[in-house]
Copies of this chain bind each other. A is one copy, B any other.
Amino acid sequence: MMNSIEENQIINSLVKDFNRSPLQINQLHSSDSELIRLKTNDNSILTVTTDSIVEEIGLGLYDDPYLIGWMIVMVNLSDLAAVGADPLGILISEILPNNLDDDFKNKLQKGISDACNANGTYVLGGDTNFGDQLILNGTAVGIISGGNVISRVGCKPDDILYTSGNIGSGNALALTKLVYKSEQEYKYKPMARLREGKLIRKYTNACMDTSDGVISTLDQLMRLNNFGFTFVDNWSTSLETNSKILFEKYNLPLWLLLAGQHGEFELLFTIPKSNEIDFLKSASDINWNPIKIGKATKQCEIILPIYEKKVSLDGQKIRNLANITDLNISKYLQSLLDLDKSFRQ
């Protein structure tokens, strides 16, 4: 099941000869952030995660150095958020082209610094090298101080599916930057949901961040849990306002805001019905409004109500589109529009 996704195949193939630490709690694919029980303490868990920014820069999706710096921190902290950890800090490895000017570098570092400050965390160290392309790698380290451990696995049919905030902004950015090359900057500045992740940890039985977009995330959860998901009828109210306006302006189907593979770094998680009242009360106590977008189902499908039908989305097809279309964004968008056309028939 995992192997029908090329990304999973690549990962499985790369790690196939590795031994796995007996101290590591999570299985391959089953957590956003690696979990290592600390020998030295009774309950604490050390969590570490690594993520690079390469293609986003190469494609021109991130061309603002401040955003690049901001994102290398946020993508990693978002993985810590997905396991409800307190961050200890982040290591940043930078590969810089020789011709990079100081202004660019300063903005890059400012983005890193601001993103750390915004989350009360720190750059702990790093590494600098020079190469042909600008490439950033981050490794975040966090501590989970006892209590529940979240993974991506554990949801059950009829669990309620929530998102930590409005969705679609990642794909709205991709549309403006890559397709319409609009002069108007689309405001994109995700915040890792660390505070929310710590609360979610008490009530959820599966959680994952939407770094690859909502459908990719649900598809991964579906494959890991062997359960499907059905969106609520009014799912489009969960969309981020400016993203929705943008897609309407260009006459693009709104569900593509879920299908595109550049995410908004929200948390997608399931809450058992029995926990829902307590969960919502705790969320309200911290002035946070999680958004109900669907529920888990016995049937292994992702069902989206559109065009007055219950459309079954082919997660495998949608996730592999980026590879099939060879990262050509016009082809990629056209393939999604072809899919949309088939739903309307």
Contact = CB atoms under 8 A, between A and B. Distances in A.
Contacts of A34: 91, 124-125
Identify which of A18, A36, A121, A130 gathers the most chain B CB atoms within 10 Å of its CB: A18
A335 interface: no
Interface residues of A, number: 64
Number of copies: 2
A89 B139 CA distance: 13
A38 interface: yes
A145 B39 CA distance: 10
B18 A122 contact: yes
Nearest to A95: B54
Given A123-B18, A139-B139, A24 B95 contact: no
Contacts of A20: 122
Interface string A99-134: 000000100011011001100011111111111110
A33 to B, nearest CB: 8
Contacts of A117: 19
A21 B145 contact: no
A261 interface: no
A58 interface: yes
A117 B91 CA distance: 25
Interface of A: 10-11, 13-21, 23-24, 33-34, 36, 38-41, 43-44, 46, 48-52, 54-55, 58, 88-89, 91-95, 105, 109-110, 112-113, 116-117, 121-133, 135, 137, 139, 141, 143, 145
Given A18-B122, A34-B91, A51-B127, 6 more contacts: A17-B113, A19-B122, A34-B124, A36-B89, A40-B44, A41-B44
8 contacts: A11-B128, A17-B109, A18-B112, A21-B89, A24-B122, A38-B44, A48-B141, A50-B91
